[in-house]
Amino acid sequence: MAISLSTVLLAVTVPALAYWLYWRWANRRMLRLAAVVPGPPALPVLGNALMFLTNTTEQLQKIAKLFDEYGDYVRFWLGPELAIAVKNPTDIRTLLSSNKLNQKGPLYNLMKPFIGPGILSGGPTWRLHRKIVTPSYNKKSVQQFSKVFNSEAEQLVRVLRNKRSDTYDIYYDVLTCTTQCVCQTLMGLSKEDSMQLPNLTEIVRKTQSMYNLIFKRMTLWWLQIPFIYWLTGHKKQQDHFFRLIDDFTSIILEKRRKALKTEVVDEELRSVVDRLIQSGELNDQEIKHEMFTLFTTSQEAAAKIAAGVMMILAHLPDWQEKVYEEIQEVVGSSPVTESHIKELHYLDMVYKETLRYFSIAAFIQRTVEEEITINDSKITLPVGTSLIIPIHVLHRDPKHWEEPLKAKPERFLPENVKNRDPNAFIPFSLGPMDCLGRVFATAMIKTIVVHVIRSVHLEADGVIDDIPLEVAISVRSANGYQVRSRVRKEQNGVKANGVVHN
């Protein structure tokens, strides 16, 4: 006997409706608290997910428009998942410093196939693992790494001095430099060993593709369905990355484990790999996951920031001149030291403006583990809420930044800083889960920039506020970091303020 279409629809609709009613009853407090927060109307089942089905540049613009329309607190639904985005600087500090939000948000779960649960992605072990490796990132250790930073920066300068006068993307040359710095410090390898790592070039070149893949799954909900992920070929791409990462980390782990049997390494020079091995707290797979986490977040992010600093200097010749003169006065032709870095105030302003303009992370996400109130107790975030801190939007909020789409290092002059809410600038996040490598990255990036700017003069076409951006975990220039470089003049062996054509 044939079953009628109406019978089939009834059989599907009734259970779906029953489940929907049950879900609303079970989450009645969440729904009541969420209703207090302004936000766009949501569709049944899908919520507001369709809003974000666009390219990454437009996603940044759409998120900014939500805040323009609804204010500093915006509620939206990604399917049944409640997300509340907060842009108020005072509440951001309160939230990120709270022990009620010491768990990463669900989007970080999509990173775990690549890097496992741990320091970056969260999970039960993040605090222990972070404690083990933290000494390699403190000031004493970073001072010991200075010799490597200077040596690799000198190698980068040799490459740039041989460039023709054509425009090129400086990012890839800088990336080679930061990769070698990280291999010879945090990974604990010698120069020779790091140069001989198999697949290193492929891993470095394809890291951005890996980030793009992860970000696609974060923003395109259907790619979180395993069959569709496989059908579209993304699973095959992911498996290729897995093999590269496993081979790469296995070789480093083997080298360091073998070396530790005979080497005695000073405490300040111990690599994160050595610390993870000698702690006895992690198995090999956990070590490899954390190793790759710390490798890629150090060399790739630092290269973007350093390339961003150089591109901004190329677009702002007056600021490049200030930085150059300051370098000549403070550092001269000597290797860069920690004391030099502290005195390079103009460079620091350009560095901070780069961190504002190209946010290391477009946003961060936390899961609310206990209810917490914000906005002078007007809003309560319910348990299970995905808290979004939109760093990129915060760093371009006209309430805190005049002409936010322009690159203006003078924003960080002392007289301008004191008139701005300090929590409106959080490039390295805040609280117990903040960026582990801020001291390491700052020293490495500034050392590289000093060597480059005192040796070559940078130029660029167009204006900095016309540069399109894209986001794939971090924010980057969509068209790369395009500059031209010319070798600076030398007079009697002393670099002078001028350039000569190659």
What's the pLDDT at 157?
97
Gap between the Cα atoms of 127 and 104, Å rounded: 12
What's the pLDDT at 352?
98
pLDDT in tens, the chain (502 residues): 456 767 766 676 777 778 778 878 888 999 999 999 999 998 877 788 888 777 666 777 788 899 999 999 999 988 888 999 999 999 999 999 999 998 898 888 888 888 889 998 888 999 999 999 999 999 999 999 999 999 999 999 999 999 988 999 999 999 999 999 999 999 999 999 999 888 888 888 888 788 888 877 877 777 888 888 888 888 898 888 889 999 999 999 999 999 998 888 888 889 999 999 999 999 999 999 999 999 999 999 999 999 999 999 999 999 999 999 999 999 999 999 999 999 999 999 999 999 999 998 888 999 999 999 999 999 999 999 999 999 999 999 999 999 999 999 999 999 999 999 999 999 999 999 999 999 999 999 999 999 999 999 999 998 888 788 887 777 889 899 999 999 998 643 444 445 444 4
Contact criterion met (CB below 8 Å) for 437 and 298? yes
Contact criterion met (CB below 8 Å) for 110 and 223? no
* Backbone φ/ψ region at 496: left (φ over 0), alpha (ψ -120 to 50), beta: beta
What's the pLDDT at 465?
82
What's the pLDDT at 491?
40
Contact criterion met (CB below 8 Å) for 136 and 279? no
User: Where along the chain do its domains lie?
Assistant: 55-500
Gap between the Cα atoms of 469 and 475, Å rounded: 7
What's the pLDDT at 8?
65
What's the pLDDT at 224?
80
3-state secondary structure 11-76: HHHHHHHHHHHHHHHHCHHHHHHHCCCCCCCCECCCECHHHHCCCHHHHHHHHHHHHHHHCCEEEE
What's the pLDDT at 494?
45
Q: What is the pLDDT of residues 313-344, one digit of tens each?
A: 999 999 999 999 999 999 999 999 999 999 99
What's the pLDDT at 1?
47
Q: What is the pLDDT of residues 83-112, one digit of tens each?
A: 999 999 999 999 999 999 988 988 888 888
What's the pLDDT at 204?
86
DSSP 53: -
Gap between the Cα atoms of 421 and 32, Å rounded: 32
What's the pLDDT at 63?
84
What's the pLDDT at 281?
96
Gap between the Cα atoms of 270 and 289, Å rounded: 19
Identify the CA nearest to 449 among candidates 312, 347, 301: 347
What's the pLDDT at 92?
97
List the beta bridge partners of residue 381.
Answer: 372
What is the dotted CATH code of the domain comprising 55-500?
A: 1.10.630.10
Q: What global pTM score does this model have?
A: 0.91
Residue type, 252: I
